[in-house]
Structure 1
Amino acid sequence: MTTSRAARFTAVYALLRSAADVADHWIQSDHQATTKGESGAAGRRACAAHVASYTATQTALVLGGARLLGVRLRPGPVAAALVLSAVTHYVADRREPLRRLADATGKSAFVRLADHGMNGAYCLDQAWHHAFETCAALIASA
């Protein structure tokens, strides 16, 4: 079956996004979630372990989902997309880089918001992931 690039993009994005939510909210351990943003080796190890399981989840869902949907993807672009997703996920989940970016772009108050049922840091984190998952889907669908 031949699929258009738009159809491949749509499928890959949906699979990446779904896998990201599963990996972040179900597969990530409590230890990883509470430790990954800490400075030092323990934080880096916890974040790396989380990103490894996150990337494995995205890989399984993208490859399995594409196969079930009959969407043909080339291995090189898929690998590049998964690397982009993994690296940018690690950067965001170390927390301090996004706090610095928020401060530099005038979002200091929002990134620290934890009131009215809202957590600004989480919202900015998710926006970062969505943006790079979109870029990853564009790469994988090439």
Structure 2
Amino acid sequence: MTFAVVFIALYVGHSLGDHWVQTSCQAAEKGRPGWSGRLACGRHVLGLTVTKGVLLALVVGVLGVPVTAAGLTAGLALDAVSHWWADRRTTLARLAELTGKGEFYSLGTGAHPAAPVTAAGTPAAHLGTGAYQLDQSFHHLWLLVAALLIAAL
């Protein structure tokens, strides 16, 4: 039960932190090279981790779920590090290439061989990209690992 409760809180916290708490500036800058990109990514991950921590505290407190400080620290730290790594963008793009997902990573962008266009040949609106889907699924994997750590320690 602890794992399920923790995972749900982390998942909701991830969705809020990645989409509502993250600023437009952080989203635009976090993948840039150099210290400005690293710091923007760090600010994003800090806000994301605080969001997850607040939701975890609320859910664990209300439901009386047994977790330890060591488990919370290890789980949230691992999640934060993995999130920062993926959100630097070039790292996840390289992983996609290495695993044969490079074409899928470019899906929905002008770089994809079947880039969506209108009848007039201009870029067409769409609901997302392969890069976003791979990013989110990578984060979900680490949410699962973080929840396991929190529940097990």
TM-score normalised to structure 1 length: 0.93
Identity level (%): 41
Measure how far apart 1:41 and its partner are.
Answer: 1.1
Q: Which residue of 2 aligns with 1:58?
A: 52
Partners of 1:73 and 1:119 in 2: CA distance: 37
What is the CA distance between 1:117 and its match in structure 2?
3.2
Deviations 1:39-80 (A, max 9, x none): 111111100000011111111111121111111111101110
TM-score by length of 2: 0.87
1:33 corresponds to which residue? 27
1:133 alignment partner AA: L
Q: CA deviation at 1:97?
A: 0.5
The equivalent residue for 2:121 is: none
Confirm whether residue 133 of structure 1 aligns to residue 152 of structure 2. Answer: no
Instruction: State the 4+ residue runs in structure 1 displaced beyond 4 angstroms.
Output: none
Query: Structure 1 stretch 119-128 or stretch 56-65: which is displaced more?
Result: 56-65
Q: Which has the higher helix share?
A: 1
> Mind listing any 5+ residue stretches in structure 1 that lack a counterpart?
1-6
Larger Rg: 2
Task: Report the equivalent of 1:118.
Answer: 128
Aligned partners of 1:30, 1:117: CA distance in 2, in Å? Answer: 18
* Long gaps (5+) in structure 2: 109-115, 117-125
Does residue 10 of the first structure (1) align with residue 20 of the second (2)?
no
